[in-house]
A and B are shown apart, each in its own frame.
Chain A
């Protein structure tokens, strides 16, 4: 075990875990931030997507000792009032079915839009291809990202 100081959603936390513990489990089990989901553990499904200094990463595959001073943002910290343009678009399109993948989809979509505010259909498809939605809400995700792009 070792002590780590990590910054999540603007606040810093000291945690005592094995250095190889993926950020995903630090968030879920140690900080009780359970919005970030486990789907595969091997960077294949995107359910665990968080932002590391604003870029989308797979938290299941980043051990806590690689984080250093980089800032983590999770779905819980995406916006203060659940009013990020992407969250608003998700609400407007009523995107979720089961909802399990959606935190990861939203985190990936927000990072995509911050890099490419005006994505084409193909940009969206490629940018979102790492996020599985087992319920297949892909049409709505795409439509919501287009709506969000108009409003960011």
Chain B
């Protein structure tokens, strides 16, 4: 065990009365929470709960409630975060009931779903919460027995003293709840973990497979009105006037309100609100640029050729310009990607009830704390008057980082002074997006005697340039002369984070470029990367932000598992490896030729993300990232004409479906290191691996996404 100082925010251990979060409100929900109904555990219903700390309470029947602090978007934190608490608490997982915590900045830190950071940043705090509670239970038993706590052992919710006498956690929970918070606790040696590292089913599985209300869209409250909003048809337009005569004749429509250049139709059903919205006759006027995708393409291409200067440097090691002059050969390629909508399958929605006393907010949100701050500011209300409950989310992918939909719900509720559920139609969701910005990269490398000696990456993006640490990604550190430059064009089209921001396309550019260099220099693509990583290890350039050995580790594991270039008949392989969100991933794509076009059949993936908390869910997450990466590289296409999006629903916007999805084979590096991220890192390398495999199959390079725009790619 490791001895650790408890550095908790003391407030998270303030004792709260059993009634405030505990006991009877739990009811029988535990029956469906963790266990298949067929094998309900034999607990009697609990009659009293004791709160040990903000994360957990223990009932007199031995059951344990563990709060899941972070928003659940399908990354499985609602299962895996409580697993970490339960591990250090040392209880049976079967006795655990998981509950979603509401926003509580006093008790919890970083209640955010984003950047693949929930587990990584939560790891220590969750372990401490469990370990601290365990220690308090042990201390309570020691007091009761009048022995030194150090002689006591715990296992599966039972405390044992050297002579074999036992007390269950349930028996000491009431006195433990009153114990001093220990200054120091012991954490388990990861090699002794019994829950973390084992596969545990999704705690919401029963509700999901029986259709219980779980998601924001399922919210029903007394007196609630459904709101569907009409928004400007184009970026760069605003509302001039509208006529709601027809809308008001629709059965169920109760009210029409204007706010912020938008019109909300309120009704007693979603359908009536949607019909009412369609029946509005609105006039719009130009209020800014009405931009076309062709214009964006020209603008970004021009920016790629802009002269680099101190303003544009994101990282500058040595003198690439000089090295380019000395090179035997310069390779320069341009890579292009369109905007992308997030298309969460559950469209944006949110519940708000604004009254003079309080603001109640509930729904799918990746950033509850930020959203509360924003609404407090907007309404000039104290944050303490605003509550935010988190529903399960039907996907996030970055879109639910932005609380615009919660603000809308609050504004409408404020205007009509009734509880409101704002519901985006799919068309609203796709056309009022906060898109992955269209981006182009130019990569330029100087080759000398068959080796890369200098490397420059130039980024031109709509609105958002890569964030600060990305220029330190591989191959930074491997070369003495290395440079990254950023340029941007500011557009009124709203853009933001989309699953694996920046790297979702940056990895494609870099990984296909390296593959091309490998071909040009007659080097095995894996060897090329390993050589560069060895150079990074030697410190040829100023340090990058990755560990070259871990990187080489996943490259070799993927090659081994995939049987890299073992001459499989009719199967063509492509390789890619990328480090993002603190996790190392290498992927081998396999394509076959079908009707003379390449079709991806399999992806073999090696991942180093430290300890894998819940393997069954981690595999799901990792596979999903790979297929998502392939789907968007193949089909994802979104553009604008005069500020109006080209697609507004899935008839004109193609998402990957089952027939196109390859089999994905996941391998984790065995590790006892603290866990890193997993929601995003398998996505960035996927498109590059596929493009490189398509090259192996066809001899043709892909420089633009989506791939289906190229005639040699199978539709």
Contact = CB atoms under 8 A, between A and B. Distances in A.
Contacts of A91: 36, 201, 205-206, 209
Contact of B661 (A1, A32, A33, A138): A138
A33 B656 CA distance: 29
A117 interface: no
Nearest to A96: B208
Interface of A is mostly: loop
Interface in B417-451: 425-426
Contact of B208 (A17, A83, A102): A102
A33 B211 CA distance: 8
Interface string B206-221: 1011111111011010
Interface string A41-60: 11011010000000000000
B347 interface: yes
B202 A96 contact: yes
A139 interface: yes
B205 A42 contact: no
B343 interface: yes
Contact of A82 (B37, B217, B270, B344): B37
Given A29-B226, A33-B211, A134-B345, A99 B204 contact: yes
Interface stretch (B257-265, B591-599, B619-627): B619-627
A32 B159 CA distance: 46
B520 interface: no
Interface in B625-673: 625-628, 631, 649-651, 655-659, 661, 663-664
A119 to B, nearest CB: 12
Interface stretch (B20-28, B146-154, B317-325, B391-399): B391-399
Contact of B209 (A28, A106, A131, A132): A106
Interface in A76-131: 76, 78, 81-83, 87, 90-91, 94-103, 106, 124-126, 128-131
B211 A42 contact: no
B251 interface: yes
Contact of A124 (B274, B649, B655, B658): B658
Nearest to A76: B211
Contacts of A130: 657
B553 to A, nearest CB: 25
B205 A139 contact: no
A44 B624 contact: no
B345 A138 contact: no
A103 B661 CA distance: 20
Contacts of A21: 269, 271
A87 B396 CA distance: 25
A75 interface: yes
A101 B211 contact: no
A135 B624 contact: yes
Contact of A38 (B75, B202, B270, B393): B270
User: Among A41, A103, A130, which residue has the most Cβ atoms of chain B within 10 A?
Assistant: A41
Interface string B31-46: 0000011100000000
A37 interface: yes
B217 A44 contact: no
Contact of B659 (A75, A99, A125): A125
Contacts of A36: 211
B616 interface: yes
A37 B208 contact: no
A38 B210 contact: no
Given A83-B38, A140-B620, A98 B393 contact: yes
A81 B345 CA distance: 27
A28 B270 contact: yes
Given A33-B211, A81-B38, A103-B211, A129 B345 contact: no
Contact of A94 (B274, B393, B617): B617
B271 A22 contact: yes
A79 B210 CA distance: 9
Nearest to A138: B661
B405 to A, nearest CB: 15
Interface string B236-251: 0000000000000011
A91 B200 CA distance: 11
Contacts of A8: none
A10 to B, nearest CB: 15
A30 interface: yes
User: Among A36, A125, A139, A142, which residue has the most Cβ atoms of chain B within 10 A?
Assistant: A139
B649 A98 contact: no
B37 A98 contact: no
B76 interface: yes
Contact of A87 (B210, B251, B343, B623): B210
User: Among B274, B426, B658, which residue has the most Cβ atoms of chain A within 10 A?
Assistant: B658
Interface string B53-92: 0000000000000000000011110000000000000000
A37 B217 contact: yes
Contacts of A128: 657-658
B210 A75 contact: yes
Interface string B190-202: 0000000001011
B345 A94 contact: no
A141 interface: yes
Contacts of A125: 658-659
B346 interface: yes
B270 A44 contact: no
8 contacts: A21-B269, A34-B217, A39-B650, A74-B211, A96-B209, A98-B345, A128-B658, A135-B628
Given A34-B217, A134-B655, A136-B628, 17 more contacts: A35-B210, A36-B211, A39-B650, A41-B425, A45-B345, A90-B209, A91-B206, A97-B621, A98-B394, A100-B345, A128-B658, A132-B655, A135-B345, A135-B628, A136-B627, A140-B623, A142-B658
